[in-house]
A = this chain, B = another copy of it.
């Protein structure tokens, strides 16, 4: 990683609007199927490391540190394409997802679907992997 690529272009980073905590939401989408896998947060450092390495790195709000997706579970995300929305406050990451994206072992995190009439949530996706075998302490 060169100093230049790590530092990046100021103009590039100025297009991003972070929230009061210096974070921007990042939606991860499977580049092959279009499935929305998860939503997590990035800060400038995680964004730089992601662009430098080609592997998706978020900022863990609960742990207060960089979160290299798959560091414990092995279920890493390879960055295929990074997109920014019109007002610069949301990222869309198109990724190659290794294994399950969700810490529950499911393909994606959006496994609860609303019954709008009954006002209940139904789970309609089974785990692909046993979360007990995936994790020591990784959160997703």
Contact = CB atoms under 8 A, between A and B. Distances in A.
Interface in A105-121: 106, 109-114, 116-121
A134 interface: no
A81 interface: yes
Contacts of A110: 83-85, 90, 92
A38 B39 CA distance: 13
Indicate how many identical chains form the complex.
2
Interface residues of A, number: 44
23 contacts: A8-B119, A9-B119, A9-B120, A11-B120, A27-B27, A27-B36, A34-B34, A34-B35, A39-B85, A51-B119, A54-B116, A79-B116, A81-B113, A82-B113, A82-B116, A83-B111, A83-B113, A84-B110, A85-B112, A86-B103, A86-B111, A86-B140, A92-B110
